Structure formats: structure tokens, C-alpha cells
């Protein structure tokens, strides 16, 4: 994939933070990554490997210390609605109902009230939460909140969904149904997804491509293409093989054997 053809192009990016005593701390060192339109990519790695930093660079929350991040051929200058982030938790506005949260991105671009409302309800319908439209986030379960967050992100029709361990805080049963819903929405909308996780099962279940990262300094250690079609059956031998591929790649750079 050429730099021009890629939707997201990260070129030789390093990100250095000042440590407590001012010593440079390499969150990312010389990382290059290209992601194509419509791809579903998982970034996986141990904590401290810079996967969230990489996501934040693409989102435009931080500027790289060196190197360039570009989106659709132009350098990323800041956050924007073509690259919406879904956070781990607590990102829904607590003072707005589910519907008002979903409407937020439409409100910023001046969509008239009635149209905004209709679009928001349709977006909630797609995550099966139309009945909860008038509830506040504190009245929703963790899984429902993340569904609203996904609806809020998708309603502005982004080109890429940047997801930062979005399902890490929900229980295992809920997580599986959230994953299935995400795959369905990805197929329906054609949006690209960059999904940060530390969960091997999640990466093996979701991704078309798994980027394995390692810490000290944060860098990319392996880039695995996963050919298996969706939906993947967790009970199948094929899935077990996928799982161990990802786990092996992760362990190879971690000095441990796969569990």
C-alpha cells in the first residue's frame, strides 16, 4: 500500500514524554504503520507498549515528537469528526440523555432539531437501544453505555472509528455481543476500525489484521494478516489456531510462552 493510497499513514513516528525527573521516556520509537480504507485493524500489546498513544496520535489529541501522521493524504492537525474515538468508559456526557449524547455531533454541525432527533433515534435503533433514548448514562449498564458511545460516534459518519479498549470494562457475555454488533456495524457502514485491546481472544475474533506491539521502547513487533472470514466460531479449531498465532506473536516479544 502506498502512502498516498492509505487512509492512515504513520511514518517514522516517535513520541517522547518527559519522565518524573525530566528524563526522556520513549512511548513510541520509529513507528510506521499504514491502514487502508475499510480495514479492521487491532493494535495489541502489553501495557506501556504505546498502543493508546498511537491511537491518540491518529485522533489528533497529541502531536508526534518526530515523524508524521497523515489521514487521507493530509497531515493530522487536530481532532475531527472523520476520526471519532470511542473511549474505554465514562466518555458519555453524564448530563445528557442517550439521545442527546448521540445528537451532540450533529448539533456541532448545525443539523436542524427535528432531523437531528430522527438521525439519533435511528442510530440508537442500530445498536438496539431505541427504548433507552431518554435515559441518562447513570441509568444504563456498562454495555449499554458503550453501545450509545458507538452510536454517538457512527452518527457523524466518520471514516475511521478509533476504539480504545472500548469493551474492557464490561462482563464477558456482554463483551461478546458488543463484538458481534461491532462487526455487523462495520460491515453495514464500511467504516475503517482501529481497535486497541490487550485481549488476544478479542483480536482473534475481530481483526482482519493484528498489529502486535511491544514496550521499552514502544514499537511494532509483528503485523499479522488474518484471512478467516467473519463471523468466526470461537469453538472451531480454526479459531484456536488464530488465537495461538496471535498469542505466540505476543509472547515471542515478551520472553514468555503463550498460555
Partner 1 sequence: MSLASSDARIEPGTDTRPPAGSFEEAFRAEHRRRRRHAAMWRLVLNAAGIALFVIAWELIPRYSSWINEVLFPPPSQVFEAFVPLLLSGEIVKNIRVSLLRAASGFGVALVLGIGAGVMTARLSWLQYLFEPLLHGFRSIPAIALIPLCILWFGIGETSKTALIAWGAFFPLWITTFIGVRDVNPIYLRSAACLGAGRLTTLFLVVLPAALPFILAGIRQALSVSLVVLVAAEMSGASSGIAHMMSEGHQLFRVDIMFIGLAVLGAFGFLVDRTFVAVARRLFPWYQITS
For partner 1, the binding residues (CB under 8 A) are: 59-61, 78-81, 83-85, 87, 90-91, 93-96, 104-105, 107-109, 136, 138, 152-153, 156
- Write down the least CB distance from residue 79 to partner 1, Å: 4
For residues 13 and 28, the answer to whether their CB atoms sit within 8 Å is yes
Angle at alpha carbon of residue 205, lines to 200 and 206, rounded to 5°: 105
Smaller CB distance to partner 1: residue 138 or 256?
Answer: 138
Of the pair 26, 136, the CB lying nearest partner 1 is at 136
Q: Which is nearer to partner 1, 107 or 238 (CB)?
A: 107
Beta carbon nearer to partner 1, 41 or 85: 85
Closest by CA to 71, choosing from 14, 160, 7, is 7
Contact at 8 Å (CB) between 70 and 80?
no
Residue 194 · residue 69 · CB < 8 Å: no
> Cell match 478509533: residue?
162
CB of 35 to partner 1, least distance (A): 17
Of 17 and 93, which has the nearer Cβ to partner 1? 93
| Closer residue to partner 1 in complex, CB, 83/175 | 83
Shortest distance (Å) from residue 224 CB to partner 1: 28
Minimum distance from CB of 13 to partner 1 (Å)?
Answer: 19
Tell me the closest approach of the beta carbon of residue 42 to partner 1, in angstroms: 20
Q: What is the CA radius of gyration of the chain?
A: 19
* Long-range CB contacts for residues 96-100, cutoff 8 Å, separation at least 24: 96/136, 96/137, 97/133, 97/134, 97/135, 97/136, 98/124, 98/129, 98/132, 98/133, 98/134, 98/135, 98/136, 98/137, 98/140, 98/148, 99/124, 99/133, 99/134
Least CB distance to partner 1 at residue 128 (A)? 22
Task: Report, in Å, the least distance between residue 97 CB and partner 1.
Answer: 8
The answer to whether the CB of 21 falls within 8 A of the CB of 27 is no
Cβ nearer to partner 1, comparing 83 with 99: 83
CA distances from 20 to 13, 189, 205 (A): 23, 44, 39
Amino acid at each position: 500500500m502506498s502512502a498516498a493510497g492509505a487512509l492512515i499513514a504513520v511514518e517514522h513516528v516517535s513520541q517522547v514524554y518527559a519522565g518524573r525527573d525530566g528524563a526522556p521516556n520513549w512511548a513510541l520509537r520509529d513507528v510506521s504503520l499504514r491502514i487502508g480504507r475499510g480495514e479492521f485493524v487491532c493494535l495489541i500489546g502489553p501495557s506501556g507498549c504505546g498502543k493508546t498513544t498511537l491511537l491518540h496520535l491518529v485522533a489528533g489529541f497529541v502531536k508526534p515528537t518526530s515523524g508524521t501522521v497523515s489521514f487521507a493524504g493530509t497531515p493530522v492537525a487536530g481532532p475531527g469528526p472523520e476520526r471519532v474515538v470511542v473511549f474505554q468508559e465514562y466518555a458519555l456526557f453524564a448530563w445528557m440523555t442517550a439521545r442527546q449524547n448521540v445528537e451532540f455531533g450533529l448539533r456541532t454541525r448545525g443539523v436542524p432539531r427535528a432531523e437531528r432527533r430522527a438521525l439519533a433515534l435511528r442510530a440508537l435503533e442500530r445498536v438496539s437501544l431505541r427504548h433507552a433514548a431518554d435515559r441518562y448514562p447513570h441509568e444504563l449498564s456498562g454495555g449499554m453505555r458503550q453501545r450509545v458511545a458507538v452510536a454517538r460516534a457512527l452518527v457523524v459518519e466518520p471514516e475511521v472509528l478509533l476504539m480504545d479498549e472500548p469493551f474492557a470494562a464490561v462482563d464477558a457475555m456482554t463483551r461478546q455481543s458488543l463484538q458481534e454488533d461491532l462487526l455487523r456495524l462495520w460491515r453495514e457502514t464500511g467504516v475503517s476500525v482501529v481497535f486497541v485491546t490487550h485481549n488476544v481472544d478479542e483480536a482473534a475474533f475481530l481483526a482482519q489484521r493484528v498489529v502486535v506491539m511491544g514496550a521499552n521502547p514502544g514499537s511494532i513487533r509483528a503485523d499479522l494478516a488474518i484471512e478467516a472470514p467473519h463471523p468466526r466460531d470461537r469453538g472451531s479449531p480454526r479459531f484456536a489456531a488464530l488465537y495461538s498465532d496471535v498469542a505466540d506473536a505476543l509472547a515471542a516479544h515478551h520472553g514468555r510462552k503463550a498460555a
